[in-house]
Structure 1
């Protein structure tokens, strides 16, 4: 009976090792040249889209309202934000792994890594919640106590719609500065 349990355990562990090995080999992080090319292409597109972006107007409440920008801009901005966070995480991981730094500095770097992950998760949750309010797409960018939101919608935007989004954000993230931009969809 003991031999069967050990055999099952061994086979389970070997299966796990094989699955993880296949995942590691086929993971997108291993294809660095392809990712670099895609990232550069997205940055080039973002630069050209920003140059072509329509003028902004500001209403009485201080919320910026964008008149028209391309659909690709959301994806490019998400990719750029993801690249920045990945770079920050890599830097922090290097600090955590460094034996030259004192333990408190490594602990601080680890805490910052955790905070980055939490912020990214909260942004995703907020984007989903904003979409459930009937908007086509939403891009949430939280940084240093400030939250910038760009909402794509066919609906007519108003101060009350922006206020609804601001209240939703304040429930999820403790901040005093929330900026909402409306972007009409085509």
Structure 2
């Protein structure tokens, strides 16, 4: 009976993944979020400002405007929704892979244990991302927030007209506390 439940769950997740992938291919985010780097800002003559005594630099940067050829009527909400859907689809695909290993009767116990561990880590990451998005929204009354964590880097994009340095420091503090990532591995940007 448990195997049937896992199979139904896996097929349901794969169906969701297919629907999300199709939606993303048709709609997609209206543009890519550039990652602010020290070299980019230093080349533009913008020196980093220390946020605290731990050597973390804070740089505010607006996400680039829509590239030419993109419809100007695309709402900003689609931008955030697209990134959240892309992130969720990728995570669901990884979950599907882990579930496949765990339900494979030919898999070695070590591989099953590793897949279970990775699945638990990914579930915790998903919960943390959602929790941090809600906490950041409440910090500055932002309309929308997207948190994307990959490897040891976390990118946070908030929907606001401007983003002051003290708010960036506040956002970095929340992300550090809840996602256990060093401050210099967190990139915060904004989009109006």
The answer to whether the superposition gives a TM-score over 0.5 is yes
Higher helix proportion: 1
CA contact (8 A) 2:146 2:156 kept: yes
Cα distance in 2, alignment partners of residues 30 and 126 from structure 1: 24
TM-score by length of 1: 0.71
Q: Does 1:77 align with 2:83?
A: yes
Cα distance in 1, alignment partners of residues 23 and 99 from structure 2: 27
Bigger-Rg structure (1/2): 1
Cα distance in 1, alignment partners of residues 13 and 125 from structure 2: 26
Q: Does 1:151 align with 2:158?
A: yes
Cα distance in 1, alignment partners of residues 97 and 60 from structure 2: 34
Equivalent of 1:66 in 48, 63, 68: 63
Cα distance in 2, alignment partners of residues 169 and 77 from structure 1: 18
Cα distance in 1, alignment partners of residues 94 and 62 from structure 2: 30
TM-score by length of 2: 0.69
Structure 1 residue aligned with 2:143: 136
Structure 2: gaps spanning 5 or more residues = 1-7, 49-57, 67-75
CA contact (8 A) 2:20 2:89 kept: no
1:1-186 superposed matches below 5 A: 29=12, 32=15, 36-37=18-19, 39-46=21-28, 49-50=30-31, 58=41, 60=48, 61-68=58-65, 70-133=76-139, 134-154=141-161, 156-176=162-182, 177-184=185-192
- For the aligned residue pairs, the C-alpha RMSD in angstroms reads 2.9
Structure 2 residue aligned with 1:10: none
Q: 1:146/1:63 Cα in 2 relative to 1: closer, same or farther (>3 Å)?
A: farther
Tell me the secondary structure at the aligned position of residue 157 of structure 1: coil
User: How many correspondences in the alignment?
Assistant: 153
Cα distance in 1, alignment partners of residues 20 and 130 from structure 2: 22
